[in-house]
Amino acid sequence: MKLKLSALLIIFSLFKANSQTETANPQTSKMTINKDTVITDTLSYALGTLLGTSIKSQGFNELNLDDLNKGILHAILNMSQYSVQQCDNIVRTWMTEKQQSEFGPVKEAGEKFLAENLKKPNVNITKSGLQYEIITEGTGKKPGPADSVKVHYEGSTIDGNVFDSSIKRGEPITLMTNQVIQGWTEALQLMKEGAKYKLYIPYYLGYGENGAGQAIPPYSTLIFEVQLLKVGS
């Protein structure tokens, strides 16, 4: 996304420079004002609007516009004081620090929850940090890492917010063991057909540092009740 954004910024600047060059010559302007210049100006404005919207949506709300313009110009003229890799690292570092600052409490709450949850007598833990509780032990076969499975499930955050539930929809789903979050992939291979487990999934085995939409913030610890109905199609 960052590389695409940088490319669009450069394209926008080139169109702007081209538009200014054309209108600087009266003869050129007379010949193109009804066609090329209007199209170029409109396209430049449209690109600028898209770029501004994209920048704002990514959380860059407090930028020095003079330095932003300078960076674009220096990139075009090969005068940048930083390499592309250095610039990428600067942006990534800023975004990581911002995210950790904003969602640090979510991560800490999850870690605290898991530490307390592990004190319960029926809660098990794997080497990866996945915690699970056996509600019903199955008697059928176990799925392999690339098997399809039919399951019923309900997922919630540690504050009790249910974000997805095949149970409420009244229809189980079929999925591949290796095409779900890591915590699920690991847990399903512990289960036998007919089993029902309660899973407590740390953020790094779930949706990680990015989360999943508004319902699952970054660094969220998740709870799932999963019933394995069938292995294979």
Q: What is the pTM of this model?
A: 0.66
Cα(144)–Cα(161) distance, rounded to whole angstroms? 31
As a three-state string, the secondary structure of 49-70 is HHHHHHHHHCCCCCCCHHHHHH
pLDDT of the residue at 74: 86
Active site residues: 153, 163-164, 181, 207, 224
The per-residue pLDDT string of the chain (233 residues; one tens digit each, 9 = 90 and over) reads: 333 444 444 444 444 444 444 434 433 333 344 455 666 778 878 877 887 788 887 778 778 888 887 887 888 788 888 888 998 899 888 877 877 787 889 999 999 999 999 999 999 999 999 999 999 999 999 999 889 999 999 999 999 999 999 999 999 999 999 999 999 999 999 999 999 999 999 999 999 988 998 899 999 999 999 999 999 87
CA distance 174 to 221: 24
